[in-house]
Amino acid sequence: MDLVSILTALLTLTAGIGVFLVACTMMSSNLESAASRRLKRLFTKTGNNKWIGVGIGTLGTAAIQSSGAVTVMVIGFVNVGIMSLTQAATIIYGANIGTTVTAQLVALGLSGSGSISTTLIFTAFAGIGAFMMLFSKSDTWKKTGGILTGFGMLFVGLSMMANAMDEFAALDSVKLFLASIRNPLLLVLLGAVITAIIQSSSVMTSIAITMVVTGLIALDQGIYLTMGSNIGSCVVAIIAGLTSGVAAKRTAMIHLLFNVLGVFLFLCIAFLIRLLTGGSWSFGTIFEHLFPAAPQLQLAMFHTVFNVGTMLVALPLTTPLVNAACSIVKDVPVQKSDEPHLFFLDQQMLRTPVVAIRQMKAEVENMAQLAIDNYRRSIRNVTTLDDFERKEFEQTERQLNFLNRELVHYALLLSDNRLNRFDHQYLVSTIRTVSDLERIGDYAKNIIEYADSLRQQEVAFSEYALKEIEQMNTLVGRLFDATMQAYHKRDLTALGLANQIEEEVDQLTDEMERNHIQRLALGICKPQAGTEYLSLAQNSERVADHLINVAKTIRDLQ
């Protein structure tokens, strides 16, 4: 083989890996988009049964063909307290089992005989899917086309990698070099490093399968590379955990400990097998006997046995694993930052829109709480003329302005992903919602300024006016509670209640204006406070208007 042939093989291998990675991403994103609402419901049903957690992790990963995406979802749920570490651990066990589906698909694609290979048949799905995406007007059919295209491209990449491996297999120097790498620990390390670089255990396992099929490496070598890929796959979870809270970091650590435990266990079993048989038997010889003349199936089946076996050992050890993760990742003192920041979202979550959208909702609900807190602070300030909460008010106002900008920006970034109709509509409504909430903060700021004006003029509201303001404050509080009930649960009954309360706010605003004019005529209220009082009533009514706008967004999400 000349230099040109070697370069051609290297370029073909690189292209094959690239196509395979793009195919995995394309298939995963379309599957995740199509199944996002079902995944949300599925992940909230973990309960305390460990086997249910394993099943959900397996099904979720098999459904979207990405253990990394499922793991990042789990980290997001743990980070906001939706899921415990124990529940997260069992789902991670299942995710490792679910990811073996890709290896089985690859083995199936490399199997078969006759004039038309299985790989060629599967590759044709790329063209079928592309035509569906190009000519279909239905969003559902476009997503289906994207899934089929990704599936077909998976085997295009696989075919390119296999062809490159065939070229390398013809080189005695390459075969001798690879044959010299027999140390199990070195092979495990090599598999982990390559997987960490490409961030896909599926690609690493597929490369190992094609190398075994073409005779470039022995089955035992492929087995150790595959074991290492499980450790390397933890990189995605570790990166996601680094930018999140302590609970998320512990979840990533559980993922790493689980895979290290599995590798250690199977290395020990491999050593015992060789010791007891005098070196004549190994994992490779066992699977060669179980699945004769099918090297692709031998490695794929070992991958499945490895992950199922590790799960069976780890499941009863879940509590010690969780405790170990808690010991390694210590609690850190919570330092309250005065700088504006996102509470539930980070850039890593953009990789898994299903998690990001749920976290977006938590962020919006938190923003709503901040807005109503500032409104209440402003009411206390204007009624007591005590400015002791001014620092907290100003910090919250800066936070509201920051969240308005960042959540709109985040929603636009999320909208670039392939989302289902519901999630896309939610993002559209979110952009309006955060604007409404920021306006509530602005009206609270106006009321604070009325308090400043009263202090400067050394006047205060009358006892009658204070009672009406407190009545308005109570009504707005009830409206806020009904609004958040409607928004959180998409509860139309709560929306109906919110509409009723908003009408009461409108009526009270009119009463406050009439009563104030009467009190001015009777000399009960001072004219200096008149402008501020009427403006306060109008600003409170506008706060109610923006709250009802938030509640009404659920009508588009039914």
- Residue-wise pLDDT for 166-225, tens only, equals 777 676 777 677 778 889 999 999 999 988 887 778 888 888 988 898 888 899 999 999
- pTM (2 decimals)? 0.66
Is 152's pLDDT higher than 80? yes
Residue written as token pair 């706008």: 549
Percent of the chain scoring above 70 in pLDDT: 88
* Average pLDDT score over residue span 399-410: 95
- The set of residues, in sequence order, having a beta carbon less than 8 Å from that of 101 and lying 6+ positions away, is 61, 62, 65
72 touches 329 (CB < 8 A): no
User: Which amino acid belongs to residue 510?
Assistant: D
- Range among 6-20, 40-54, 352-366, 476-490 with highest mean pLDDT value: 476-490
Q: Which domains does the chain have, with CATH numbers?
A: 3-328 (no CATH), 347-557 (1.20.58.220)
* Average pLDDT score over residue span 404-430: 86
Q: How confident is the model at residue 459 (pLDDT cuts 50, 70, 90)?
A: confident
Is 44's pLDDT higher than 60? no
363 touches 344 (CB < 8 A): yes
Please, which contacts does 421-425 make with residues 24 or more away whose CB atoms are closer than 8 Å? 421/139, 422/37, 422/557, 423/33, 423/36, 423/37, 423/353, 423/354, 423/357, 425/556, 425/557
Interatomic CA distance for residues 233 and 221, integer angstroms: 18
Interatomic CA distance for residues 543 and 443, integer angstroms: 7
Q: How far is C-alpha 448 from the chain's CA centre?
A: 39
Interatomic CA distance for residues 323 and 355, integer angstroms: 26
Of 211, 190, 219, residue with least CA distance to 106: 211
Interatomic CA distance for residues 418 and 398, integer angstroms: 33
Of 409, 374, 389, 396, residue with least CA distance to 546: 374
Structure-block tokens of residue 71: 């793991």
381 touches 387 (CB < 8 A): yes
For the CA atoms of the chain, what is the radius of gyration?
31
Helices within 277-389 (DSSP H only): 283-290, 295-314, 318-328, 353-384
Residue written as token pair 């900008």: 405
- Quick: pLDDT tens for 266-287: 999 999 999 999 989 999 999 9
Interatomic CA distance for residues 27 and 143, integer angstroms: 9
- Quick: pLDDT tens for 343-375: 888 776 776 677 788 789 989 999 999 999 999
* Average pLDDT score over residue span 391-398: 95
Q: What is the pLDDT of residue 440?
A: 97
